[in-house]
Amino acid sequence: MKMTSIGLKACVLGLALGFAGCVSDRTENSELQLAREGKTAYAIVHASDCQPAERYAAQELSDYLHEMTGATFPVVDETQAPRTRRIVVGPCELSRRLLDKETVEKLESEEIVVRTSGCDLVLVGGSPRGTLYAAYHLLDNVLGVRWWAADATFVPRKPELNIPALNILQEPAFATRGELHFVSAWNQDWSAHNRVNRMCYATWDPGAPAATTVSFTIDEKHGGGILYPMPGQKNCHTFYAYLPAEKYFDAHPDWFAEINGKRVRNSQPCLSNPDVLKVVTEAVLEDLRQNPGATMVNVSQIDGSDNYCRCDKCRKIDEEEGSGAGTLLRFVNAVAEQVEKVRPDVLVETLAYLHTRPAPKLTRPRANVAVRLCNFGACDFMRAFDAPVNAKILDNLRDWSSISPHLFFWDYMLGYLRPYPNLRTIGPNLRVLAQQGVKGCLIEGSHFTAAEFDELRTWLLSRLLWNPFQDDQALIAEFVHGYYGPAGQYVLKYINLIHDAAIKGNCQLFQGGDLEPSPFVNYDVMLQAESFFRQAEQAVASQADLLRRVRRTHMAVQYVWTLNREEWAAEARQRGQPPPPPAAEFYEALRRQALVEKDGAPKNRQRQIDGFLATTEKELELAPLKLSIKASKSYATQPYMAFDGDPNTAWNPGGPGPEWIQRDLGRTVSVKSIRTDFGYLYTNVTYQIEASQDGQVWTPMIGRKTAEGCLSEDRTDDASAARFVRTTIFSAASRGHPQGEWLGIAEQEIVAE
């Protein structure tokens, strides 16, 4: 796809001159009258041998124009076309004559033309999706149809339908759009209507015990999409699939990472090993042989930051390159060289993620290699990428942009059920990405529609991924008023309330979406938020569809109330104000929404929803524990997770330290021992544990010490009397981050007499 300096070319010319119809001496600025009083003189024309998406575009246009005007627009092939008043859809002899042959034949795959010519209207685009997108552009951007969500479409009624002279030539800013991990985007009709060319959602492989992310392309009728090899998890972290430890480790431990002098089973491959290169390359080529329609193949590191190889060869390469991307990119380039020999049309994609995020100093990606930069662990998502706090990720972006022929980006919007105030950064960030030459975006979001503004985010992203240089705040307001109707004014007040409060509180927003404790998630702000939603519900009380939409969005506020109900109930009593909504009200709303989503869904999707409900129910049960826990800060997790009895959850304050966490035991007790699971593959952790009677004056219980590994058992010499216990982590050097970038406690057990 060719790109202009801003990734988008658009020219829209049109002027209504106050008369309708079409005459033989029609001027360039005159209108076309497509329908009037339920009748039309126009026919929709396509080529006799048109592609499925072009035929579908003609039928979609006919159906929507009929719904708008009441007129029936016949669909015919060009052998039956009338001599005038034609809406020509797709490349054919007629469109080549009305435009010109060179214009039609040189269109890029998603470049569109919408142009009036005499009494005719021509809609054409590159193959295979462009023509369909041209038809949807006319319906959407010119005629006012809006596909807000899969179950929410607005079609304006126009008994008299006139269009101005049009001369539109556009192509999208981003070549790959819509790898959106939001339930609202998991619909082929919605994706095509909003010019999204990827679908991506979480599912399970049959019989697999855990979730894997699997990308599904869009079908031929909807224009197809970018395809990775299937089946299985093949769109990221693919070393799991191409070099499975259960198959190879016992016989070939040297194929896996050396860490502290030992080969580790569940680790990254040893990328300097030529046998590893041979095995992975053969597996990739076999995948492509089995999937001739694939247009991309992913060769990328497994998840995790600490498990890469430190053998002499790998370490030397990474030191030369100044980044863990050194060994990875040299390896991927070697795979891509072999792929190019048999499939020169395929891009080999890899990840710049965690330890491979910084660009290498020496190695450059081959022409058939795509790099997807991931901002996990390097970004405050409430602020734009060019804000000072995000200087690290912006530097990474610029460095990769300067060397990558195909640069993609992986962003995160994991708000789940919590308020996630990033709606003011989506537009600015996509503009930064477009200006840096990024060609495609994957947005990892939640997988449940009760997540805050799931529908708004997907619609807004679809608009901005086509053209990020639009007024993003105007688009948000348009959606809110269109989707929520009379309730929109109150929903917009809530959006402004949350974003203003977050900025005023100087919050930082991380990919997990957990902001509690946070300066803006407090009783006063959420009381005002609750008021706005009550008013919103009243405004649409008699309109079932709109009320359902408001109530679903309201659940983010109800969730916060529920998590904080004990603390805020006491505050409400002190103020003489109404108590927070009961937990049962929220959970029942969540359960109803889950039942709606499970109805007719595949079994793997039903299991995912059940798991989400179970996790949320446990979190609500543990909510009172939050009152006894305080921490210096939390990074994408909540402090009480260090005491929830589950070693798979953790308090994570980021780093490098010092950071502290304390627990109120409720009364003074004699502490005998403390067992702490720091939760990571640390080489050493430096910490201390203190006791207090009042939470103000602290005395050492376990003096400052350095423990090896992630588990520490500490016994007090004399049973220490304490009501409050505070653990401070000064540093935690892990195998992946010797400077101690990550801190955390997965579980702490305080044993008292």
- Could you count the other beta carbons within 10 Å of the beta carbon of residue 376? 20
State residue 43 phi and psi, 5-degree precision: -120, 150
Nearest partner of 44 among 87, 78, 80, judged by Cα: 87
> For residue 119, what are the contacts with CB-CB under 8 A and spacing of at least 6?
22, 26, 32, 84, 85, 86
443 strand-pairing partners: 180, 411
120-125 and 86-89: which strand pairing? parallel
Q: Where do you find CATH 3.30.379.10 in the chain? A: 32-170
The amino acid at residue 270 is: C
> For residue 285, what are the contacts with CB-CB under 8 A and spacing of at least 6?
338, 339, 342
Nearest partner of 548 among 584, 587, 583, 592, judged by Cα: 592
Residue 18: left (phi > 0), alpha (psi -120 to 50), or beta?
left
Q: Where do you find CATH 2.60.120.260 in the chain? A: 628-752
The pLDDT, as a whole number, for residue 211 is 36
Which tokens is 52 given? 């499925």
Q: How far apart are CA 636 and CA 353, in angstroms?
A: 17
The amino acid at residue 286 is: E
Q: How far apart are CA 277 and CA 330, in angstroms?
A: 10
Nearest partner of 586 among 606, 609, 560, judged by Cα: 560
Query: Over the stretch 15-42, which tens digit does the pLDDT of each residue have?
Result: 222 223 343 334 345 789 999 999 999 9
Nearest partner of 272 among 237, 339, 305, 320, judged by Cα: 320
The pLDDT, as a whole number, for residue 205 is 38
The pLDDT, as a whole number, for residue 583 is 75
Count Cβ atoms within 10 A of the Cβ of residue 39 and give its class: 0-12 exposed, 13-18 middle, 19 or more buried.
Answer: exposed
82, 415, 433 from 427: Cα distances, Å: 45, 17, 10
Residue 447, SS3 per DSSP: coil
> For residue 73, what are the contacts with CB-CB under 8 A and spacing of at least 6?
35, 40, 42, 43, 44, 61, 62, 65, 66, 87
186, 502, 531 from 499: Cα distances, Å: 28, 5, 16
Asked if residue 128 has a cis previous peptide bond (ω within 30° of 0), the answer is: yes
Question: Average pLDDT by consecutive 10-residue portion of the chain (753 residues)?
Answer: 37 30 43 96 96 96 98 96 96 94 89 96 94 98 96 96 96 86 79 83 39 55 71 72 93 95 92 98 93 87 84 97 97 98 96 95 98 88 92 96 97 80 95 96 76 91 96 98 98 96 82 53 89 96 95 86 82 85 77 75 69 76 82 78 86 81 92 87 81 92 86 78 93 55 83 85
Whether 165 and 111 have beta carbons less than 8 Å apart is answered as no
Nearest partner of 453 among 430, 476, 433, 425, judged by Cα: 476
3-state percent breakdown (helix, strand, coil) of the chain, nearest 5: 35, 25, 40
The pLDDT, as a whole number, for residue 3 is 36
Whether 177 and 186 have beta carbons less than 8 Å apart is answered as no
State residue 419 phi and psi, 5-degree precision: -60, 135
- Can you give the C-alpha Rg of the chain in angstroms? 29
Whether 412 and 381 have beta carbons less than 8 Å apart is answered as yes
| pTM of structure | 0.83
Domain 32-170 CATH superfamily: Chitobiase/beta-hexosaminidase domain 2-like (3.30.379.10)
The pLDDT, as a whole number, for residue 18 is 28
Helix ranges, 243-324 (H): 245-248, 274-290, 312-321
Q: What string of DSSP letters covers 397-445?
A: HHHHHHH-SEEEEEEEE--TTS----TTTHHHHHHHHHHTT--EEEEEE
720 strand-pairing partners: 671
Domain 628-752: assigned CATH number: 2.60.120.260
> For residue 340, what are the contacts with CB-CB under 8 A and spacing of at least 6?
366, 368
Count how many Cα atoms sit within 13 Å of the Cα of residue 54 in the half-sphere of its side chain: 29
The pLDDT, as a whole number, for residue 566 is 79
The pLDDT, as a whole number, for residue 23 is 35
Residue 739, SS3 per DSSP: coil
Which tokens is 199 given? 């679908």
Query: Across the chain, what does the average pLDDT equal?
Result: 85
The pLDDT, as a whole number, for residue 515 is 44
Q: What string of DSSP letters covers 245-258?
A: HHHHTTT-GGGB-E
Separation of CA 212 from chain center: 15
> For residue 281, what are the contacts with CB-CB under 8 A and spacing of at least 6?
334, 335, 338
